[in-house]
Amino acid sequence: MYQVSQQARTAIAQLMQQHGGDSVDPQELSIIAAGASGRAIMRSPLHPGIIGIYWTAERADNNSFLPAAHGLAAAGVRVPAILAEQDCGQGCGVCLVQDLGNADLLSLKQADWETRKAAYTQAIQAVAPLHRLTPDWPLQPGFDAQLYRWEQSYFAEHYLQAYCGKDATDFLSRPALQEMADWLAALPTSPVHRDFQSQNIMLTGETATLIDFQGMRLGRPEYDMASLLLDPYMSLSPAEQEELLDIWETTRGENIDRNIFAACALQRIMQALGAFANIGLNQHKEWYLNLIPAGLTSLKRAMKLAPTGSPAAHVAACLQAVL
């Protein structure tokens, strides 16, 4: 069950009162989400259409939310409107944003394919202008060889070693992993969402809106698409993934490089499996461990995407040896 600090409750309640004029009891705020990131997201029954977000400096990207929200909105990218904001000092802050309801892409998991495909198409169209931006606000540190290696290490330490009991050091010492990281890091970059998965895409009618974009940085757009199409929460079939890749190519107006997509897919799903194991084992949120089988399925599908002789194929062989 979510727990939030009294400081978070009070800050959100006070800003809601300043914005709407009605007194808000901090204890009557209902929690939408809260976690180890230092963010708390809440609603008040007195202020429909508004969500309060409070954050601390616990994560470096928390204070990137407001600059990204303003910058993306100004560029025409669909994100929630910022209604009020306040600096709380010591790296903490609070803001009120447009409430988009509870219907995210994940809520369509059991829907028929045509319904899901229409929603995915909207999501792809929503993120496309983000990938074409030249941001004039600070982003998080971009993807480089060190960050790609960190994702590999995160997977090895938390999934392979802590969860599976296998040798992380032996896996990480294989040259193919460093070579793929170096190869990806040398490619041209564009802004990426960084966590473009089903729970971060809100649906209102036939429109998709992006949330949780505070981790924006420079990277490869294929990383975002791998996050979406191999999302363990949704478990798309290979045929569905291919259909959506065609839609993305049409939206971009160019063919994608399958070598790059496969490498980004391996990176993303390794990172996700590391997160599931870390949060489940070390943060004692055991329900994340239930996501590991789906994550492993996604990783094995990503391994099959790697063209013969590509950097991703060499890493897939390393993974095959330890899974």
Residue spans of the domains in the chain: they are: 6-98, 105-322
Q: Which of 31, 66, 32, 38 minimizes the C-alpha distance to 54? A: 38
End-to-end CA distance of the chain: 33
Coil/strand/helix, residue 313: helix
Task: Supply the pLDDT for residue 163.
Answer: 98
Mean pLDDT of the region 37-59 = 91
pTM of the model: 0.95
pLDDT at residue 221, rounded to an integer? 98
Report how far residue 259's alpha carbon sits from residue 274's, in angstroms, rounded to the nearest whole number: 23
> What does the pLDDT look like over 138-155, one tens digit per residue?
999 999 999 999 999 999
Confirm or reject CATH 3.30.200.20 for domain 6-98, answering yes or no: yes
Q: Average pLDDT, stretch 272-297?
A: 95
Give the pLDDT score at 35: 61
Confidence of residue 59 (pLDDT cuts 50, 70, 90): confident
Owner of token pair 């059991």: 110
CA–CA dist 240, 116 (Å, integer): 10
Residue 229 pLDDT = 98
Q: How confident is the model at residue 34 (pLDDT cuts 50, 70, 90)?
A: low
The answer to whether the Cα torsion of 317, 318, 319, 323 is positive or negative is: positive
**pLDDT, tens only, 248-263:** 999 999 999 999 999 9
Fold matches, 6-98 and 105-322: no
DSSP class of 35: -
C-alpha distances out from residue 280 to 161, 243, 292, Å: 14, 33, 10
More reliable by pLDDT, 20 or 276: 276
Task: Report how far Cα 174 is from the mean position of its chain's Cα atoms.
Answer: 28
Q: Does 33 have pLDDT greater than 90? A: no
What does the angle CA 104 – CA 109 – CA 115 come to, to the nearest 5 degrees? 85
Q: Does residue 24 contact residue 44 with C-beta atoms inside 8 Å?
A: yes
Report yes or no: 162 and 277 within 8 Å, Cβ to Cβ: yes
**Residue 2 — pLDDT band, cuts 50, 70, 90?**
low
Q: How far apart, in whole angstroms, are the C-alpha atoms of residue 228 and residue 123?
A: 9
Q: Which residues of 111-125 are buried (b: 16+ CB within 10 A; e: fewer)?
A: eeeeebbebbbbbbe
Most distant CA atoms of the chain, gap in Å: 64
Whether the predicted pLDDT of 239 surpasses 90: yes
Beta bridge partners of 84: 96
Which spans in the chain are helix H?
6-20, 65-74, 113-131, 145-154, 168-172, 175-185, 221-229, 238-252, 258-282, 292-305, 311-322
Q: Which CATH superfamily hosts domain 105-322?
A: Aminoglycoside phosphotransferase (APH), C-terminal lobe (3.90.1200.10)
Q: Is the dihedral of CA 96, 100, 104, 107 positive or negative?
A: positive
Average pLDDT, the chain: 95
Q: Which pairs count as long-range contacts for 39-48, CB under 8 Å and 24+ apart, including other chains?
A: 40/4, 40/5, 40/8, 40/9, 40/12, 42/4, 42/8, 42/9, 42/12, 43/99, 44/12, 44/13, 44/16, 46/16, 46/20, 46/22, 47/16, 47/19, 47/20, 47/22, 48/99
